[in-house]
Amino acid sequence: MDKIVANKKSKPLSLFLIILLLVVFLSSCAKISDTDTADTGSADEGDDENDPCGNALGNGNEIISGPSGPSGADYDSVFRSLTVDPTNPGIVIIGTERNGFVKSTDGGVNWTRLRYGLRHDDIGYPEIYDIGISASNTDVLYAAAIDSNGPVTGDYPSSKAGLYKSIDGGQTWYRKNCGIDNSSIPVVHVDPVDPDIAIIGIRGGYPSFTELSDQYFDGGIYKSTNGGESWERITVEANDRYNDYLIIRMANADPNKLITFGFNYDDLNLNLGFLKSTDNGSSWIQFAPDLKGLLISYFDISSDASVIYAVSRDEWKILKSADGGNTWIEFPFHMSCYALAVSPSDAERVLFSIMDKLYLSTDGMQSYTMVIDNIGSTFDDIVFASSNNNIVYAVTKGYLLYKSEDGGVTFSLVKNIRSDVLNVIP
C-alpha cells in the first residue's frame, strides 16, 4: 500500500522532469541555430535590420568559378591589386576582375584560388581593385572591391563589393563596412606596424544600376583604427565627396607620411589634386597645385617622398618632381601610359609601361630601355618587392605575370594566370 502511494506521488515529479528536459532541449536547439547563423553568416543580404553594416556572409560560402574568360565588360583586369608580401618576395597575391583572388607562395610558379567569404552574383565576384598588407602580420589582408557606386546593404549589385578583410592570409574573407555608405572602394592602405590601422579611398558617383541611378553616393577618405570594425570619414574639403582615389602611397622612411590624388572623371575642376598626410591619414592637405586639374591615373614616390613620378593620362606624359611636388618636369610620349613603379632603394630606378611595352630607366627618366616588347596586352600594375628590391613583378590585363630578379633589367613570363590557373582550378 505504501508502495502504491509512493508511485502516485512520483508521477507529477516525472512530468515536471519531462517538461524541464523539453525546455532545455528546445533552448539548446535555439542556441545551435543562432550559432549556425553567426558562423555561416546566412542572414539574408537584404536584411538591413539584422545586418545594418552589410557584413553578413550572404552567399559568400558558395564558391563559384567566375567568368571563364573576358567578355562584355569583363576584361580580366588586375587594376592595382598586384601585392607582394613585404617580408617574403616569393609570396604574391593578385585580385581579379570577377574571379576573386589568386595566390602564390613560390614566386609565381604554383597558385591557389581564394574566394571564400566574397559575395557574388550571376556575373561573378566583385572587382578587386587593391590589396593592403601589413609587414607586422602578413596574414592580415584588406581588399578594396568595386561593383558599382551604391549602398553596402540591401539587395543591390553594389552590396557584394566594399571592404573585405582576411586574417588567415586570404583563405577566408569578411566584409568590414560599418560606417561606410558607398561600397565603391578602389584603394586601401594598411599601416606597416599596426594592422588595425587602415585607410581607404571611396569613389563618388551615381550607381550603374537603374533602381538608384538618380542618387549620388559620396566619395571620400576613411580611416579605421580597430581593424575595420568601424570607419571614420576624414573631411578634406567640400569637394572631396565628388572625388575618386586610385592610389595611396606611403613614404617608407616615414610611415606616417601618405600621398594620394583626388580627381573627378567628369569634371576635373572638382579635383582635389595631390593630397598629403603627415599623421597616418588622420588629416590631409593639398599640394602641387599645378597638377590639380589633371587626371593623374598612376603615381609612385621615393622612400622619403621627395621624388614623385606621376602619369598624366589624357596628356600622354610622365611628370617628375624632385622637391616633393613644388616643381615639375615633363617627359612626353605619343601613347597613353599605364603603370609605373619606383624602386624603394633607388629613386632614379623607374619601371613604366606604354601600352603593351615595359621600360626601365636608371637615371630618373633621362633615358630608358625597353625590357618587355609588344606582348599584346597593357600592363595593369608593377611592384618592387620591398624586402628585396631586385625582385620585381609586372602583370597585364589578361593576367600575364612577369618577374625580374635583377631590378627590372630583364623579365621572364612566369605564368598565364587566365589559361594556367583560372581555367584549370575550379
Segment 328-358, tens digit of pLDDT? 999 999 888 889 999 999 999 999 999 899 9
The residue from 189, 219, 234 where one domain ends is 234
pLDDT in the model for residue 47: 52
The residue from 234, 249, 274 where one domain ends is 234
How far is it, in rounded angstroms, from Cα 201 to Cα 260?
A: 9
Question: Is residue 399 domain-resident?
Answer: yes
Q: Which residues of 355-373 are buried (b: 16+ CB within 10 A; e: fewer)?
A: bbbbbbbbebbeebeebbe
Question: Is residue 29 domain-resident?
Answer: no
Question: Is residue 41 domain-resident?
Answer: no
Q: Where are the beta strands (DSSP E) in 108-253?
A: 112-114, 127-134, 137-146, 162-166, 174-175, 187-190, 198-202, 220-224, 232-234, 244-251
The CATH number assigned to the domain holding 199 equals 2.130.10.10
Cell, residue 188: 586601401
Mean pLDDT score of the chain: 89
- Model confidence at 50, pLDDT cuts 50, 70, 90, reads confident
Does 110 have pLDDT greater than 80? yes
Domain match, 192 and 75 both: yes
The residue from 234, 252, 282 where one domain ends is 234
pLDDT in the model for residue 213: 96
Mean pLDDT in residue range 399-422: 97
pLDDT in the model for residue 189: 98
With contact defined as beta carbons under 8 Å apart, do 162 and 183 qualify? yes
How many structural domains is the chain composed of?
Answer: 2
- Model confidence at 299, pLDDT cuts 50, 70, 90, reads very high
Mean pLDDT in residue range 191-196: 98
Containing structural domain, residue 95: 55-234
Mean pLDDT in residue range 371-388: 94
> What are the angstrom distances between the C-alpha of 147 and each of 14, 42, 89?
61, 22, 30
